Each structure stands twice: as C-alpha cells, then as structure tokens.
C-alpha cells in the first residue's frame, strides 16, 4: 500500500490502444491497494502539430496564447485516459494544471513551478479515486495558463510527487533507463541501476534525452527518487536518487559527449581587470550561453582566452569576438566549430585521485588531442576534435571499466 506517482510520455499515450495499455498498467498498481496519481503528456505529435499550426499564422506567435493552445494537448490525453479508466469500471478524475494547484511564475512557454497546492489531488486520493493530472501546464497567480517547456511533464510529476509526499515517482519513457553512455555510439554501454541526482545533472547531455533536467533539480531539492523506466515493458529501469559517495560508488559512472559546441579563442589580450567582463557581457547581451571558459596563465601580461558556445550561435559569437577583440587590442580571434566535448562523471571522483590523469592517458592512447579542459567536483570535460567524439567515448568507457560483460 503506497502512494505512487506515474508519469507517461507522449509515445506511451500515442493512440487509443496505447492509452488502454497505460490504463491497464495503472489498474495493476491500483488494484494492488496503492493510490495512484498519473501525470500525462500530450499524445505524441500533437504538440508539434499545434506549434506548426501557430507558425502558419506567424513566425513569432504570442507566448501567452501559445500556452493556451499547447495546454489543450495534455487536456485531451488526460480526459481520454480518464474516460478509458472509467469505462473499465475504475473511479478516475482528470485535473488540469490549474485545478491540480500547479502554480507557476508568468514566464509563458518556460514557466517555473512556484508552488503545488495539491488539495484537490489529496481529496480525490482520499476517496480512492485515480487522479489524472495534465502535465506540462500550470497557471500563474492571475490565473493565466502557463506551460513548463519541452519535457515539462517530468517536472510536473516530480513537483506533484513532492507536494503529496508520494512513496515513489515513476517516469515512463520510450527507453529502458539511463545508460553509462549513448548506446547508439557505444555498444558496450550498460543501463545503470541507480544514478545520483548530481551525476544526472552533470550528465545533462545524456539525461536531457530522457528527463527534463529541471525535473532532476527539483527532485534533488525535495529528495524525490525518480524511477526512469520503459512504458513498453515491465523491466526495472534506473533509479535517479540521493546516492552518497561511498566505497561502492564507481569512480566514474558515465561517459557523455556533446557535439553541439564551438570554440572561440581570443589571442593575447591584456591581463587587466575588466577585459573578460567586456567580452562576456557582449556575448550575453546577444543571448548566447557560454559553456566552458579557459584563460591561460599570463605571459608578458598577455593572456589567451578560450570559450565554447552552442554551434548555432557560433557565427554571431565570432562577430562579437572580433569586434570586442579589436576594441581591447587582441592580436587575433580564432574560431573552430568542429569540436566536441566528452565528459566523465561520477560521485566517486570526490574521493579518488588520478581520474583526470587516467582520462588524459586514455585519450592520448588514441592520439586524441585535448584543446580545453574543465572540471567540477564530479565531472571532467575535455574539448577535442569533433571527428574523434565517438572513439573518445568508447575509449573512456573501457578505460573506466564501464563496458558490460560479454
């Protein structure tokens, strides 16, 4: 007997047959004596269809109205699932975001949850009803409909699980769980049984394909363990949870890569206060997110400054770099858009030395040159030539003992 939150993605509710499968899964948990709160995404393809329709009207539709439009997707799937459960003889009620008390700020299209007043959910649960909440949506304090951004249903699920103090939060996706590396490029990648919130956050490039990364931040904040699993089979997936760094934690739990970055280097800038500020203020004003920043040690009071930006912003960032570079008297501004970032992540790293050395050696053994390095407490990232990305992932995966047994 427990209180279980289950979230199903768009593929899981892609048509009426699949909705019936989801209903059967819910009934199985419910008839075992549990209370069940379900958070639903829109049926696969619906959200994209609505966006396309709005873009036929204008390339930049009003954001408030887009949220009104997009919220219909989850409203539809929630009603259809409730109808299905009721037709099978089980008591079910749908709740839209505002009815479930999902209060957000007013950042339409990418709203943040500020509170979940789940009184209606609790009332239904107390009456042994199955509650179906439309995910991805909430409302601001003026009662406007808001949406939480792509993958927002994950965040809805974690926020609601926290608000009702659920015993478990299961997120059903179209993959089996979180892998030690992208299985598409590393066939020896293994499904992890568990991964810590911190590792999951560092492995954003892996995790983002499975979980909205904000849902992990929220899960960490409220300590809500997430069980990521497949909606197409009964296998256990991956627990994303608060794992302490202990003797058993692997030093490295996963290897990730990201090919969506480009590198810019501003050569020999004066080693003066305010130089970095000038460059990165200009970049930020253009709305470009900088990832890594490396400054070399000063030689003759001159530095090299390198940073990475998303590949799509590369041209504009170069333009800004050249403009600011000439203002501050830089010798040259160099760009390279065929780079990749490979990272190893693991909470075990906190208490182990030599992880970086092992990483550099593994890459060197494959003759892969490293052009930038950055580290966090539980992650080491290297920027390398893009063409070596897959090779690097496989080499690191083997070097850190992650390969699955034959």
Are the C-beta atoms of 379 and 343 separated by less than 8 Å?
Answer: yes
Query: Is the CB of 47 or the CB of 258 nearer to a second copy?
Result: 47
Instruction: Give the span between the Cα atoms of 338 and 244, in whole angstroms.
Output: 37
Contacts of 56 (CB under 8 A, 6+ apart): none
86 is an interface residue for a second copy by CB under 8 A: yes
65 is an interface residue for a second copy by CB under 8 A: yes
Per-residue buried b or exposed e for 136-159, using 16+ beta carbons within 10 Å of the residue's own CB: bbbbbeeebbbbbeebbbbbbbbb
62 is an interface residue for a second copy by CB under 8 A: yes
44 is an interface residue for a second copy by CB under 8 A: no
Alpha helices, H only, 99-165: 119-126, 152-163
Element (H, E) at 17: helix 16-31
Q: x/- contact string, 379-398, with a second copy (CB under 8 A)?
A: --------------------
CB 144 → a second copy: shortest distance, Å?
8
Query: Is the CB of 144 or the CB of 296 nearer to a second copy?
Result: 144
Instruction: Give the span between the Cα atoms of 28 and 32, in whole angstroms.
Output: 6
> Which of 84, 101, 192, 176 lies closest to 139, judged by CA?
101
Candidates 4, 12, 66, 378; binder of a second copy (CB under 8 A) is 66
Instruction: Give the span between the Cα atoms of 144 and 322, in whole angstroms.
Output: 43
- Interface size with a second copy, residues (CB under 8 A): 37
1 is an interface residue for a second copy by CB under 8 A: no
Query: Is the CB of 77 or the CB of 173 nearer to a second copy?
Result: 77
Query: Is the CB of 20 or the CB of 267 nearer to a second copy?
Result: 20
CB 90 → a second copy: shortest distance, Å?
11
72 is an interface residue for a second copy by CB under 8 A: yes
Are the C-beta atoms of 371 and 384 separated by less than 8 Å?
Answer: yes
CB 172 → a second copy: shortest distance, Å?
20
40 is an interface residue for a second copy by CB under 8 A: no
Q: Which residues pair with 238 in a beta bridge?
A: 228
Instruction: Give the span between the Cα atoms of 22 and 38, in whole angstroms.
Output: 10
Residues 94 to 133: which contact a second copy by CB under 8 A?
94, 96, 99, 120
CB 60 → a second copy: shortest distance, Å?
8
Instruction: Give the span between the Cα atoms of 276 and 104, in whole angstroms.
Output: 35
Q: x/- contact string, 144-183, with a second copy (CB under 8 A)?
A: xx--------------------------------------
**For 262, how many CA atoms within 13 A lie in the half-sphere containing its CB?**
17
Candidates 2, 24, 28, 87; binder of a second copy (CB under 8 A) is 87
Q: Which residues bind a second copy (CB under 8 A)?
A: 16, 19-20, 50, 53-54, 56-58, 60-62, 64-66, 68-69, 71-72, 75-76, 78-80, 82-84, 86-87, 93-94, 96, 99, 120, 143-145
């Amino acid at each position: 007997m427990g209180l279980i939150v289950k979230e199903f993605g768009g593929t899981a509710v892609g048509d009426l047959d699949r909705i019936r499968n989801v209903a059967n899964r819910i009934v199985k948990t419910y008839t075992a004596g549990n209370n069940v709160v379900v958070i639903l995404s829109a049926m696969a393809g619906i959200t994209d269809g609505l966006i396309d329709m709005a873009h036929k009207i204008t390339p930049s539709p009003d954001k408030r109205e887009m949220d009104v439009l997009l919220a219909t997707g989850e409203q539809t799937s929630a009603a259809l699932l409730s109808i299905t459960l009721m037709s099978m003889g089980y008591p079910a009620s749908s709740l839209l975001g505002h009815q479930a008390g999902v209060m957000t700020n007013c950042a339409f299209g990418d709203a943040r949850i500020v509170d979940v007043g789940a009184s209606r959910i609790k009332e239904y649960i107390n009456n042994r009803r199955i509650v179906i909440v439309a995910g991805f949506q909430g409302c601001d304090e003026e009662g406007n409909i808001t949406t939480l951004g792509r993958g927002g249903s994950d965040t809805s699920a974690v926020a609601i699980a926290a608000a009702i103090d659920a015993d478990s939060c299961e997120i059903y996706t179209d993959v089996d769980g979180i892998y030690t590396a992208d299985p598409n490029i590393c066939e020896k990648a293994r499904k992890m049984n568990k991964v810590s919130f911190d590792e999951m956050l560092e492995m954003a490039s892996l995790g983002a394909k499975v979980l909205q990364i904000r849902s992990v931040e929220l899960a960490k904040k409220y300590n809500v363990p997430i069980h990521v699993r497949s909606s197409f089979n009964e296998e256990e997936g991956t627990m994303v949870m608060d794992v302490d760094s202990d003797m058993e934690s692997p030093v490295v739990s996963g290897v990730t890569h990201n090919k969506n970055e480009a590198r810019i280097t501003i050569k020999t800038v004066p080693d003066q206060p305010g130089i970095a500020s000038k460059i990165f203020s200009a970049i930020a004003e253009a709305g470009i997110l900088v990832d890594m920043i490396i400054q070399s040690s000063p030689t003759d009071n001159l530095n090299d400054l390198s940073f990475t930006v998303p590949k799509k912003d590369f041209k504009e960032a170069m333009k800004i770099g050249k403009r600011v570079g000439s203002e501050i008297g830089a010798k040259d501004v160099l760009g390279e858009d065929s780079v990749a970032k490979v990272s190893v992540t693991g909470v075990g790293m906190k208490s182990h030395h030599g992880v970086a050395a092992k990483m550099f050696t593994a890459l060197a053994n494959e003759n892969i040159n490293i052009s930038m390095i950055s580290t966090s407490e539980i992650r080491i990232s290297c920027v390398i030539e893009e063409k070596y990305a897959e090779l690097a992932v496989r080499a690191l995966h083997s070097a850190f003992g992650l390969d699955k047994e034959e």
